[in-house]
Structure 1
Amino acid sequence: MTVTQLNVSSPRFAPARAGLAVSGLALATLFSPLGNAEEKTADTRLDTVTVISTGVRGQQRTVADSPAPIDVINSDQLLKTGRAELSEAISKLLPSFNFGTNIAGYNSVTRPLTNRSLGPAYTLVLVNGKRRHNGSVAQRGSVDNSGANAVDIDLIPLSAVDHIEVLKDSAAAQYGSDAVAGVINIILKSSDSGGHVESSYGKLFSGQGESIKLAGDQGFAIGDGGFVHLSADARKRAYASWNGKADSSVRAYADQAKEAAWDRVAIKNGDPDLKAFNVAYNAELPLADAVRLYSYATYGERDAEVQNYYRLPNGTASVPELYPDGYYPINNIKDRDYQFLFGGKGELADWNWDLSTTYGRNNTHHSSDFNINPSLGTSTPTKFDNLATFRFEQWVNNLDITRHYDGGLFNLTPPVQVSAGLEHRWERFSTFAGDELAYTTGSYPAASGAQAAVVIRPEDEVSLIRNNYAGYLDLGWDLTERWFVDVAGRLEHYDDDSGNTFGLKLNSRYELTDSVAVRGTVGTGFRAPSLTQIGYTVADNRVNTDVNGNVVPAITRLTPSGSALAKALGGDDLEPEKSRNLGLGITWQPAPRTSITADAYLIDIDDRITLTSNIYDRGDGTINALLASQGVAAGTWVNYYTNAFDTRTRGLDIVADHTTPFADGWGQVRWSAGFNWNKTTIEGVRDNPAALTASGITLIGRDREGDLTEATPKTKWVLGANWTVDNLAINLQTTRYGKVKTLAVNESGDRSFNAKWLTDLDISYTFAEALTLSVGGNNIFDVRPSKNAVYSSLGLSPYGNPPFYPGGGSWYAKIAYDF
């Protein structure tokens, strides 16, 4: 083996030094013999003894005994990440998850959380084991152009979360559509007494992005053995930007003095100014005859102000009489989100039953300030209170039953756990038109429509409804004391074109020894097109990127794949996505304080849905003629969602955990190491439509292939050490994100971004077992992504779409009180 020596004392290797230090200590300790075996008491065992309910219907198991890979994240781990939002906190702790960054427009608020390089549409989100409703905004931009409306878990209060169970395995046969890559099950706090309040404040090292958060929760006893647990948090985050300045080729003013005085800030895209609050309750009330009623609800509000490109005073988007110095349009995005669940559970004739109903709704409203419709001249409004509204609603009813047969089925099989259930899911996606003045074309010789805005016109309004009916059967056998086998099947019917499907899953775990076990999974999955993918239509009056990588003004029309316009350009009705998965893993627990797991996986997805590349006239008039035949203005850019790819994703997850106790009051250190490797390849691409081939247009370009194969890291390390000494706790974590690429339509426009180490530190001290003071930093070495994005004369962010936050390091201080 060849060893390359590096001068790690050099300042430019500071992040690497932190990463190597933690990894070296962790690996050295993980695989070193334990000290005194008699000191390994039960209270220092790892989370491998945590009882979980995700992954095997109707039967709770420990993490160590699970036949599928499951990670458990507790509330303390989430809080120590220093992150205010739940999705980013999860990505900081689990190597298979990545948190995408959007830097512009209406997608700057809802951000994609990918699992095993698959977009958020492929991971099902549950709360207390029940399906969480989706958001209302279609994913479009950054690294996710699937058009699916992902669940927005940031609208669940972090203060309400007791722990999170993450199933890193396909579970579509058990839980239904969206569980192709796995399941996130958020378990809410359920204590009947005590509480927690906290306040935190922080900023980026740059001085931007001021962040303030208040949070609290408390439990109360009700009835005889019941509880209600209340939670709330409120947060404010200020605007932050990491763009450059416009170069000398950009001229804003004809007047030389004004041009010289201009600060050359032509781009304000970045993190939006954000204000939000979330509240929740979780409750149970026991009744007679072993029946328990239960309920939970969450409610969230989030208001964001999104900055945009500078509309130059001498540009086509300006009206000098109104904005003689130009203007920066502001998008106002208001989210209102809630979910309510009510149910009961009990026992009848030796069967445990669980009956529930839940309704959730997400509503997103767009307005704009400091904005105009330039084509209306001086008669234009300078603000638009109503541009567009998006709404998604979901109503789910579940009946689940389970029973354990010690003597097996009909006394002919080994002991078996039988679980079955029925589900009805109703969902509706709606859009509502905005102010007519926002899209009217006037006579003034300037750009048409409200700037930097998504506007819904009356003809683009949709209201799509569908029902899903499903039933499942899950059988879990303990064939021997060491061998467990689980078989699950699920039949689903959609009352739209998605039709019928049957999913099957077989997984098993076998103990080779008392400390070593192997586990494996084989299964099929099914994902119906989301209603946003089927029917969402909108016209954007913003900017877009042409085939040469240039950012240019463009009116872009997203049209449904089954519309006449899409079909004229080669579109067709969407088909469901079908998946097949294999998994094989090994678990090793050499001691109560040590756990190591390794799981390999393969996921095939056919007919994968994505947004087409931009279709626009390249100068020969062919596309303009097709647009004219559909009553669409010449020069319009068009795209739609289509079944574009067959993909194969291969990967490996490794997680290691060990606790080292020290003598003489030096406490203990919990070491952790997580690694994920994954690679997605394109196995098939839909044929290019003849209507486009003649113009040299590729419907599914390399840019869309790159979204799936290159835009997320192929490797990710998460290395941590948590040292506790009496009331002092020091948590150090370093994360390595592998290199990523952005592919362009033309290969000459491809960009590569190097691998980076990011290091986080949290130090806390508890006084009188109740008051805890914490200080910490995220990305304490202020590491930025590689500066290798396509050059922009306006100064657009040089970082591309990195897999981590591009704003650099930040610090925070927090005070918390437990009672």
Structure 2
Amino acid sequence: MHHYRTDSMLALACGIFAPSAAFAQAIDIDDPIQPAEAIIVTGSRGLERTVADSPVPVDVFSEEAINSVSFTDTNDVLKTLVPSYTVSRQPISDGSSFIRPASMRGLPTDKTLVLVNSKRRHRAALVTIGGSGTQGPDIATIPTISLASVEVLRDGAAAQYGSDAIAGVINFLLKDDPHGVDLEAEIGEFYEGDGFEYKFAGNIGLPLGDMGFINLSAEYSNADSTNRAQQYCESFFCVTEYAALPGNEDYAAAVEGIDTIQPWGRPSGEAVRTFVNAGYELSAAAEVYAFGNYSWSTSTTNFFYRYPANGTIEDLRLEDGSIYNPTERFPGGFTPLFSGDVEDYSALGGIRGDISSAFSYDFSLRYGRSEISYLLENTINPSLGPESPTSFKPGDLINDELQFQADFMLTHDVGLASEIALAFGGTYFEEGYETVEGELASYHAGPFGSPDPFDFCNTDGTPTLAGSSLSFSAGLNCADPADPVYQVVGVGSNGFPGYSPEFSGSYDRDSYSFYGNIGADVTDRLFLEGALRFENYSDFDSQLIYKVAGRFEILDGLGIRASHGTGFRAPTPGQQGTTNVSTRIPNGFPVATGLFPASSAIAAALGAVPLEPETSTNWTAGISGAFGGLTYSIDYYRIELEDRLQARSTITVVDDCIPSTPEIDSECIGFRGRMIDAGVAGAQSIGGVFYFQNLFDTVTQGVDIVLSYSQSWSGGTSGLVAAINYNETEFDGDVPAQFNAEDQYDFLNAEPNWRAVFTATHETGPFNFLARANYYGPYSNSDGAGGPLISQDFDSELLIDVEASYTWRDMLTLSIGARNVFDNYPEPGEFEVCCGRIYRSDSIVDWQGGYYYARLRASF
């Protein structure tokens, strides 16, 4: 176990049990360009395989490769190394500004299984609002200094690892060194002179007697915000024009000297990340192991600017008949500030060993928890009028998981080229999601959430007894529908209303599963493997899925491989139970838009049905091998995804009813009344509603090409890596009217089909040089708000990174470099970029510009 046993059963267990890094790092990972003979632990629960002879495509990124990327966020490190992995910067996107959703092979991040030391990683508390409602692990909580390597399995593997492994598996393997200290400090800033960032990190390995180890990692980072905006000036409101109008002197004074009323850029953030990994050998045949983490981060972004008379800042008639306007408190309007504190921790412990030379076991128990606490400042609850506070705690989101897992492996010699390896086991899994109620003022419906709150007017437009005197003293005109007495404004902390008691609570479920995996080298050139898995969820029917895979060595250095399997993904408790009301700006005007559970009475009134699992059929076929210093793989993949989960297009809420549509089996539904009856806070002011559904089927297919070459010269060693991905998604069958034409177009075209990363390295003496090119192919985006669908085509982009390093006595390494060294930006957006925005903020092409940095590493 760990570094203390070298018998063959240790290596065998590494390949079978999905063990912790205490076992996994028996391979040489000194070369950042992984050799074909590097042993992998991900992708096969059978005899150990190498990268070159794996029956499925697996990328291995060493510690050196990870360290060659200057990003603090592990999400950004992955997107730099893996072309099919993408992540975007999403300001003004509720919790997605703090926990960024990613995708692999064009599928949302919750369809990629994330492992740490080959054990399932718990999900984050955030359910992305809109899109597929992604709820996956927060990869940013894993500090890069804790990692020995990362293995990326680019193939469906749900039959082997369980739900979520539809697009692939990412396995983060922690350092397990019992000795040594690594320290790191880095500073950097964008060319624009903002976004200053610094990071300090450390890792230490300590022995536990002669038979164990404990490896500790910690990281602290701090980043200032960036701003890539222009001044707010649109057809519906322009800051400079409004400030110049007669009578707006107070407004002009309030905004004087502010370059951009509404920033667009990266949020500010501060984070502490820690990880511990440990193991101890009890005997020659048994070892205990444990690992866990604690992470805390806080980040602040902004929402849309609220300008005077935009539906939030409006004249209101108070109980004494006088007129109140929020500009009395915010003369220049206001831009809400939104902060999120994210706390994430986990612990896993287990015991594993050998019962005999042919039979091994691994028992583990895991707990993980993620919590987001929100804070909203510089805003109001408009319905409270002058009594509104300006800061709010709208509530918390919590996701926690508990899992017990048992894995076994049995080997038997039946006369084939290798022993047959039979891996089998089971797991019991509990998971829960909780929406914690916000403070009262964050969701409370004040008097101005309804028209005429003080009963000044009769329905026929005449004043009541209470309003009669005000007709003369305060200018009340009940016959004028524009009189402030009828003004209705939003309920709840503006920008992000708090979670009310009616929409707070816990959603829990449990599941159990059993799996079996068998594989062997049938001949010296043919490897075959098969897997079967049964899963049962308390809230869904059971699932039986399978996978078969194989590789045939045609010639030395040339092999063909293929796999076929099925998979599934059960909607999470969060996706089934999350509720959110947020402010959106569809045409520059703020609209409160509500997301409600598909199983709720509100969504059911619009034709929603309870969610079902997504199911998939996966195919891969390719070639792989190595010649001299060249390692290559070319793999085609096809993912047929049925009952795909997606947010339906937003429904505009009218005052009285929603006319009959094909999805609503009635002539007219008084939907706003239904929301009021259901106790929805702010029902009078909610202008849009949507919910998640299993909307349609898709086919995603593409090609991955990975080429790596290394060569030693008299002057040093050079390496080249080309990683290229082509990916496209199409609808399979009819798409319901619930998903409109604009959403359909953007779903298929808003991300590039082509992505590639080309990396060149050269080492000579104490000097190291790196150049990396990130290529994004063309893409397109549509707009249908003004009538017929129109689109904008975006050209391809090439972003170049460079770095030079000097190492002194194998102890200190100083690196100086730049990302996007030529300061390239994507093309400005032509539409859906209102309110001071220049670039599409949801673009996966980075729009922050060039960034330069310096880094110092010390190893002892």
Instruction: Give the structure-2-normalised TM-score.
Output: 0.84
2:532 is matched with which residue: 482, 489, 503?
489
| Aligned equivalent of 1:8 | none
| Aligned equivalent of 1:147 | 133
- Measure the CA separation in 2 of the matches of 1:215 and 1:464: 37
Query: Could you tell me which amino acid in structure 1 is paired with residue 403 of structure 2?
Result: V
1:795 is matched with which residue: 836, 842, 848?
836
The Cα shift of 1:60 comes to 2.3
1:434 is matched with which residue: 431, 438, 451?
438
| Aligned equivalent of 1:399 | 406
Quick check: 1:701 aligned with 2:740? yes
Query: Could you tell me which amino acid in structure 2 is paired with residue 396 of structure 1?
Result: Q
Quick check: 1:449 aligned with 2:486? no
Q: Closer, same or farther in 2 for the Cα pair 1:315/1:570, shift >3 Å?
A: closer
- Give the secondary-structure state (helix, strand or coil) at the position aligned to 2:79: helix
1:222-237 equivalences in 2 (<5 Å): 222-237=208-223
Quick check: 1:123 aligned with 2:109? no
Deviations, residues 151-177 of structure 1 (Å, cap 9, x unaligned): 101001111111000000000000011
1:650 is matched with which residue: 683, 701, 704?
701
- More displaced, 161-170 or 559-568? 559-568
| Aligned equivalent of 1:814 | 855
Deviations, residues 101-132 of structure 1 (Å, cap 9, x unaligned): 21213211111221111110110000001000
Q: How many residues align?
A: 752
Query: Could you tell me which amino acid in structure 2 is paired with residue 486 of structure 1?
Result: E
- Higher CA-based Rg: 2
The Cα shift of 1:46 comes to 4.2
Q: Tell me if the contact between 1:713 and 1:737 (Cα under 8 Å) persists in the aligned partners.
A: yes
Q: Tell me if the contact between 1:645 and 1:683 (Cα under 8 Å) persists in the aligned partners.
A: yes
- Measure the CA separation in 2 of the matches of 1:212 and 1:333: 20
| Aligned equivalent of 2:322 | none
Quick check: 1:660 aligned with 2:646? no
| Aligned equivalent of 1:93 | 81
- Measure the CA separation in 1 of the matches of 2:85 and 2:332: 44
Query: Could you tell me which amino acid in structure 2 is paired with residue 684 of structure 1?
Result: G
2:252 is matched with which residue: 241, 259, 266?
259
2:312 is matched with which residue: 317, 331, 334?
317
Query: Could you tell me which amino acid in structure 1 is paired with residue 122 of structure 2?
Result: H
Q: Closer, same or farther in 2 for the Cα pair 1:559/1:659, shift >3 Å?
A: same
- Give the secondary-structure state (helix, strand or coil) at the position aligned to 2:263: coil
Deviations, residues 235-258 of structure 1 (Å, cap 9, x unaligned): 011111212212274245454555
- Measure the CA separation in 2 of the matches of 1:568 and 1:686: 21
1:206 is matched with which residue: 177, 188, 192?
192
The Cα shift of 1:806 comes to 1.1
| Aligned equivalent of 2:809 | 768
Q: Tell me if the contact between 1:148 and 1:532 (Cα under 8 Å) persists in the aligned partners.
A: no
| Aligned equivalent of 2:7 | none
Q: Tell me if the contact between 1:269 and 1:309 (Cα under 8 Å) persists in the aligned partners.
A: no
1:106-185 equivalences in 2 (<5 Å): 106=94, 107-140=96-129, 145-185=131-171
1:298-697 equivalences in 2 (<5 Å): 298-313=293-308, 315-318=310-313, 319-349=326-356, 350-384=358-392, 386-407=393-414, 415-444=419-448, 446-496=489-539, 498-540=540-582, 542-545=583-586, 550-591=587-628, 593-617=629-653, 621-622=657-658, 625-631=670-676, 633-634=683-684, 635-663=686-714, 666-685=715-734, 687=736
- Measure the CA separation in 1 of the matches of 2:31 and 2:641: 43
Query: Could you tell me which amino acid in structure 2 is paired with residue 369 of structure 1?
Result: E
- Give the secondary-structure state (helix, strand or coil) at the position aligned to 2:696: strand
Q: Closer, same or farther in 2 for the Cα pair 1:101/1:481, shift >3 Å?
A: same
2:760 is matched with which residue: 702, 711, 721?
721
| Aligned equivalent of 2:27 | none
Deviations, residues 702-761 of structure 1 (Å, cap 9, x unaligned): 343345422221011111101100111111000110122223456534332221000011
Q: Closer, same or farther in 2 for the Cα pair 1:706/1:235, shift >3 Å?
A: farther
Query: Could you tell me which amino acid in structure 2 is paired with residue 732 of structure 1?
Result: A
- Give the secondary-structure state (helix, strand or coil) at the position aligned to 1:294: strand
The Cα shift of 1:566 comes to 1.1
- Measure the CA separation in 1 of the matches of 2:36 and 2:45: 19
Deviations, residues 750-807 of structure 1 (Å, cap 9, x unaligned): 3322210000111110012101111111111111111124165531243352113211
**Please, what is the CA RMSD of the aligned residues?**
2.1
Q: Tell me if the contact between 2:89 and 2:266 (Cα under 8 Å) persists in the aligned partners.
A: no
Q: Closer, same or farther in 2 for the Cα pair 1:264/1:43, shift >3 Å?
A: closer
- Give the secondary-structure state (helix, strand or coil) at the position aligned to 2:671: helix
- Measure the CA separation in 2 of the matches of 1:43 and 1:98: 25
1:10-29 equivalences in 2 (<5 Å): none
Q: Tell me if the contact between 2:655 and 2:672 (Cα under 8 Å) persists in the aligned partners.
A: no
- Give the secondary-structure state (helix, strand or coil) at the position aligned to 1:453: coil
Q: Tell me if the contact between 1:101 and 1:804 (Cα under 8 Å) persists in the aligned partners.
A: no
- Measure the CA separation in 2 of the matches of 1:525 and 1:791: 36
Q: Closer, same or farther in 2 for the Cα pair 1:757/1:610, shift >3 Å?
A: same
The Cα shift of 1:223 comes to 2.4
1:53 is matched with which residue: 22, 35, 41?
41
- Give the secondary-structure state (helix, strand or coil) at the position aligned to 1:198: strand
Structure 2, gaps ≥5 residues long: 1-29, 314-325, 449-486, 660-668
- Give the secondary-structure state (helix, strand or coil) at the position aligned to 1:584: strand
Q: Closer, same or farther in 2 for the Cα pair 1:619/1:699, shift >3 Å?
A: farther
- Measure the CA separation in 2 of the matches of 1:476 and 1:811: 49
Q: Closer, same or farther in 2 for the Cα pair 1:333/1:661, shift >3 Å?
A: same
The Cα shift of 1:573 comes to 0.8
- Measure the CA separation in 1 of the matches of 2:601 and 2:345: 36
Q: Tell me if the contact between 2:274 and 2:293 (Cα under 8 Å) persists in the aligned partners.
A: yes
- Measure the CA separation in 1 of the matches of 2:652 and 2:54: 52
Q: Tell me if the contact between 1:169 and 1:183 (Cα under 8 Å) persists in the aligned partners.
A: yes
Q: Closer, same or farther in 2 for the Cα pair 1:765/1:216, shift >3 Å?
A: same
- Measure the CA separation in 2 of the matches of 1:120 and 1:326: 37
Q: Closer, same or farther in 2 for the Cα pair 1:246/1:501, shift >3 Å?
A: same
| Aligned equivalent of 1:247 | 233
- Measure the CA separation in 2 of the matches of 1:713 and 1:517: 30
Q: Tell me if the contact between 2:632 and 2:708 (Cα under 8 Å) persists in the aligned partners.
A: yes
Q: Tell me if the contact between 1:749 and 1:790 (Cα under 8 Å) persists in the aligned partners.
A: no
Query: Could you tell me which amino acid in structure 2 is paired with residue 240 of structure 1?
Result: T
Query: Could you tell me which amino acid in structure 2 is paired with residue 713 of structure 1?
Result: P
The Cα shift of 1:373 comes to 1.3
- Give the secondary-structure state (helix, strand or coil) at the position aligned to 2:544: strand
Q: Tell me if the contact between 1:490 and 1:504 (Cα under 8 Å) persists in the aligned partners.
A: yes
- Measure the CA separation in 2 of the matches of 1:43 and 1:325: 57
- More displaced, 794-803 or 95-104? 794-803
- Give the secondary-structure state (helix, strand or coil) at the position aligned to 2:441: helix
Deviations, residues 285-306 of structure 1 (Å, cap 9, x unaligned): 0002411000001110010111
Q: Tell me if the contact between 2:424 and 2:514 (Cα under 8 Å) persists in the aligned partners.
A: yes
Q: Tell me if the contact between 1:223 and 1:286 (Cα under 8 Å) persists in the aligned partners.
A: no
Structure 1, gaps ≥5 residues long: 1-41, 688-697
| Aligned equivalent of 2:482 | none
Q: Closer, same or farther in 2 for the Cα pair 1:454/1:78, shift >3 Å?
A: farther
- Measure the CA separation in 1 of the matches of 2:553 and 2:675: 64
